[in-house]
Amino acid sequence: MEPFPEAFLQKVFSKAKTEKMSTIKVELALSPYMPGDRSYPITVERGLLDSVGRRMREAGLGGRCAVITNPYVGSLYSKRLLDSLRGAGLDPVTIEMPDGEEYKTLSSVSLVYDRLLKERFERDSTIVALGGGVVGDMAGFVAATFLRGVPYVQVPTTLLAQVDSSVGGKTGVNHPLGKNLIGAFYQPKAVFIDPDVLNTLEKREFISGLGEVVKYGVIRDGEFFSFLEKNRDRLLSLKDEITRAIERACAIKAEVVSMDERETGLRSILNLGHTFGHAIEAITGYTKFKHGEAVSIGMAMAAELSFFLGLTGKDAVRRIKDLLSGFGLPVSFRGISPPDFIETMRFDKKVKEGKIRFVLVEDIGKVILKDVDEGKLKGFLSGESFL
């Protein structure tokens, strides 16, 4: 493997090195429906939790705020966050929702509305989402809809939430008929990421988030992918490289979201691995794999399909699979028949005119969207992995 050039490291991460902190901006186009500048900063810094209050003030947010969290994350981090908010003169209340994907529902949202109304929250009050993607998605949806929209900030506490769900403005809840079916695009005012909170995250949750980090390298930045390869063990043990990895992942997501806020085109490259991954999650009842694990298998399969279709070489596929499995992520799953796989993927929203749409790999750092014929797909799924 090519050694990672130090000059590149200096260039990409010099800001982080000198300032011990990095702020990335999500630039958004002006919208006739939501006047004003909706662009917002993502700040990544170790220990940031203690200065969220001051930074909210600097972002023009003050007064009353509701910290939405769950009992476990709350027990770990609420006190520090509340101290920081009060220290900056804000007036916070805490609202807890039960921990778990099964509570990402309209019923939970309704309970939060009840509380906000009882507390007489107004349109200038701020929602603060403290937690993983479940809390973030639901709190964002509350913010999008309460009094027709109030400001909110994200304080994501899982790696997945830090590099993915807290950035980009997709908010929402699940419906009995499917995940994330009810929601809104609604951008936060700021995202505050403290990599130190990952120390308490279960290892499997952390590794699952690394799957999404790898994804950013594959879709947009070969040099970042090499950085991940080179620093695998340091990332796994949460050394400083994790801050850099979060920054770069957020910068890539910010760039893609800036260009296509509502997923009418480019943004769908963020779905690399998700067409296979969603099918695997659905067929295994959402219990066998964590989301990032299913996406990891999906990414490995998308890479193999790309090779099968003659779009990429073996080396790219091998590197993707090696990096994922080096992080401890699964890269294959047997036991789903090709017809079941195809049938399940047909229900995915990326199906167009009978063909199934995939994000496929041309090279590490470069992907394309392609509609794949079901016959070819069946041939691919029926064959053996070539590695």
Ligand X SMILES: NC(=O)c1ccc[n+]([C@@H]2O[C@H](COP(=O)([O-])OP(=O)(O)OC[C@H]3O[C@@H](n4cnc5c(N)ncnc54)[C@H](O)[C@@H]3O)[C@@H](O)[C@H]2O)c1
Q: Is 291 a catalytic residue?
A: yes
CB of 159 to ligand X, least distance (A): 8
Closest CA to 359 of 278, 261, 247: 278
> Which one of the listed residues 248, 267, 321, 357 is annotated catalytic?
267
CB of 248 to ligand X, least distance (A): 18
Residue placing its CB nearer to ligand X in the complex, 41 or 140: 140
Residue placing its CB nearer to ligand X in the complex, 76 or 238: 76
Residues paired with 196 in a beta bridge: none
322-326's contacts with Cβ under 8 Å and 24+ in sequence apart are: 322/229, 323/214, 323/225, 323/228, 323/229, 323/232, 324/211, 324/214, 324/296, 324/299, 324/300, 326/229, 326/232
CB of 45 to ligand X, least distance (A): 16
Q: Is 239 a catalytic residue?
A: no
Q: Is 148 a catalytic residue?
A: yes
Q: Which residues bind ligand X (CB under 6 A)?
A: 70, 72-73, 76, 99, 101, 104, 131-135, 137, 157-158, 160-161, 164-165, 168, 170, 179-180, 197, 200-201, 205, 291
126-131 and 152-156: which strand pairing?
Answer: parallel
> Which one of the listed residues 118, 120, 148, 203 is annotated catalytic?
148
CB of 298 to ligand X, least distance (A): 13
Residue placing its CB nearer to ligand X in the complex, 166 or 226: 166
CB of 138 to ligand X, least distance (A): 8
Residue placing its CB nearer to ligand X in the complex, 120 or 203: 203
> Which one of the listed residues 170, 220, 290, 357 is annotated catalytic?
170
E-strand spans in the chain?
Answer: 22-26, 40-44, 64-69, 91-96, 126-131, 152-156, 170-175, 178-185, 190-193, 351-352, 355-363, 366-372
Q: Is 278 a catalytic residue?
A: yes
Q: Is 271 a catalytic residue?
A: yes
CB of 312 to ligand X, least distance (A): 25
The region that residue 229 occupies, defined by phi over 0 for left and psi between -120 and 50 for alpha, beta otherwise, is alpha
Residue placing its CB nearer to ligand X in the complex, 197 or 356: 197
Residue placing its CB nearer to ligand X in the complex, 244 or 291: 291
CB of 73 to ligand X, least distance (A): 5
Q: Is 212 a catalytic residue?
A: yes
Residue placing its CB nearer to ligand X in the complex, 134 or 302: 134
Q: Is 199 a catalytic residue?
A: no
> Which one of the listed residues 244, 291, 321, 357 is annotated catalytic?
291
> Which one of the listed residues 205, 223, 255, 263 is annotated catalytic?
263
Helix (H/G/I), strand (E/B), else coil: 181? strand
CA–CA separation, 313 and 335 (whole Å) = 27
Residues 292, 70, 135, 250, Cα dihedral to 10°: -60
> Which one of the listed residues 55, 244, 248, 278 is annotated catalytic?
278
Residues paired with 135 in a beta bridge: none
Closest CA to 56 of 66, 46, 161: 66
Which pair of structure tokens corresponds to residue 365? 């750092």
**What number of CA atoms fall less than 13 Å from residue 367's CA on the CB side?**
30
Q: Is 267 a catalytic residue?
A: yes
Helix (H/G/I), strand (E/B), else coil: 286? coil
Closest CA to 45 of 26, 23, 30: 23
Question: Any idea which residues carry the catalytic annotation?
Answer: 148, 170, 212, 253, 263, 267, 271, 274, 278, 291
